[in-house]
Amino acid sequence: MNTRTYYDFGGKVWSITHDSDDTKGLVAKIYDIKHKIYALRQDYHEEIEIANPRDYLAEFWKHNYLVLPSPFSTFLVNADNKQDSIDIVIDYCVERGYMGLFLDDEMIKEKTEEGFLDEHYCGGNHGHYLSEPDFPMIERVK
């Protein structure tokens, strides 16, 4: 069940997509990290998706991270470390069909031939390359 919940932070309405029944707990957790989000990125993308909402709400792993795999997407994730956080986000995006975030086979071949493939982050269970060379941006928020 995907739910879209709206929050007003500092005069801007944020939309957070999640599949949790605990909306009240989610609001409290999101509200606690808003200042770190502002500090990380002044021109933030106003829609945030939670890549692993059950783990996030249960605080299953040690930390929460704000992960930006591109300038146009922002995810919250509960993970043990930064590497795990981006891998979770990449796998989540692949499962949801957000393929615009990744280089396709033709682009991988082209970047390899040009010697620029190493500028792109590779991660997730199947080794997908992010399409933006300066990303991901990852900030621990808890």
Of 138, 6, 8, whose CA–CA distance to 75 is shortest?
138
- Res 8: pLDDT: 45
Compare 135 and 115 and report the one with higher pLDDT.
115
The model's pLDDT over 48-107, given as tens digits with 9 standing for 90+, comes to 788 888 887 788 998 988 888 887 788 889 999 999 999 999 999 999 898 889 999 999
Tell me how far apart the alpha carbons of residues 106 and 5 are, in angstroms, rounded to a whole number: 38
Report which residue type is found at 125: N
The model's pLDDT over 109-128, given as tens digits with 9 standing for 90+, comes to 999 999 999 999 999 999 99
Contact yes or no for 14/46 (Cβ under 8 A): yes
- Res 142: pLDDT: 78
Q: Is the pLDDT of residue 38 over 80?
A: no
- Cα–Cα distances (Å) from 86 to 2, 64, 96, in that order, read 21, 12, 15
- pTM, two decimals, is 0.70
